[in-house]
């Protein structure tokens, strides 16, 4: 394993499980001081030596700002910020409840914006920063019965591109990753919902999706973590405003 991030301070939202957990472990393995944020309690033994942990809901704007200020006080800098916190909602388009729509908007899009807006001044001041947003393939091509999820993830891609333009002159890059179907808790939830809607046995959707992909397997959180680490590295210093699709070849085939 490389050690590209020794001395770097890396913060990850939605870090308690799935993609966020894998990203946290990857950066820790490469020498970073990892700060884990999640609305769930993060176990004490999650990482061998986690730099810091915060129980924060990204929809609580005051808590987000307080956490970022505390991280900066502790370490004196924030080098990488990964917006991974997100939720998935599913319903036929005409049956989408406005409360579910608003919740997805608050977490997936506004939550990302609040975090970016709060951390950006520190990165601008130090003339260095990497912001990586976890969007979704759903924000690129659309998924059935997923209007809120698709719309908010498309919004994250637009937000990424706009922020990249504004922050680029200060040495801050902003990119997004757009995973396809993954073997995560969210992936299994999607499978459960789609199988229920179609009268299929649980696991059928994931099996069919894997068979459709050129690589013949679904993605893992570790697959995403590797790309996020690349985007945070010096190898990607001239890469900004991009939305990288990680889907095993599903799109545009």
149 belongs to the catalytic site: yes
Choosing from 54, 88, 149, 188, the catalytic residue is 149
Q: Is the dihedral of CA 53, 59, 63, 67 positive or negative?
A: positive
Q: How far is 178 from 63, CA to CA, in rounded Å?
A: 27
The three-class DSSP label of residue 106 is helix
What's the rounded Cα separation, in Å, for the pair 194 and 222? 24
Q: How many helices, marked H, and strands, marked E, lie in the chain? A: 9, 7
Instruction: Tell me the C-alpha distance between 235 and 175, whole Å.
Output: 14
Residues annotated as catalytic (active site), given as ranges: 149
């Amino acid at each position: 394993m490389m050690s590209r991030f020794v001395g770097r301070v890396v913060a990850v939202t939605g870090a308690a499980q799935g993609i966020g957990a894998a990203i946290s472990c990857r950066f820790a393995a490469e020498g970073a001081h990892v700060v884990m944020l999640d609305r769930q309690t993060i176990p004490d033994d999650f990482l061998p030596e986690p730099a810091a942990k915060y129980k924060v809901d990204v929809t609580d704007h005051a808590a987000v700002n307080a956490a970022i200020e505390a991280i900066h006080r502790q370490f004196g800098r924030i080098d990488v910020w990964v917006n991974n916190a997100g939720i998935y909602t599913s319903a036929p388009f005409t049956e989408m409840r406005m409360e579910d729509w608003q919740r997805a908007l608050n977490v997936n899009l506004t939550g990302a914006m609040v975090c970016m807006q709060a951390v950006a001044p520190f990165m601008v001041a130090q003339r260095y920063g990497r912001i990586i947003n976890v969007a979704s393939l759903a924000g690129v091509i659309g998924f059935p019965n997923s209007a809120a999820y698709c719309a908010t993830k498309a919004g994250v891609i637009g937000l990424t591109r706009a922020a990249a333009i504004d922050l680029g002159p200060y040495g801050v890059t902003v990119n997004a990753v757009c995973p396809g179907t993954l073997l995560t808790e969210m992936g299994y939830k999607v499978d459960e919902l789609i199988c229920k809607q179609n009268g299929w046995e649980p696991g059928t959707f994931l099996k069919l999706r894997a068979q459709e992909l050129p690589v013949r397997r679904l993605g893992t959180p570790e697959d995403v973590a590797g790309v996020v680490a690349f985007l945070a590295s010096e190898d990607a210093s001239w890469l900004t405003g991009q939305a990288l699709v990680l889907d095993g070849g599903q799109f545009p085939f």
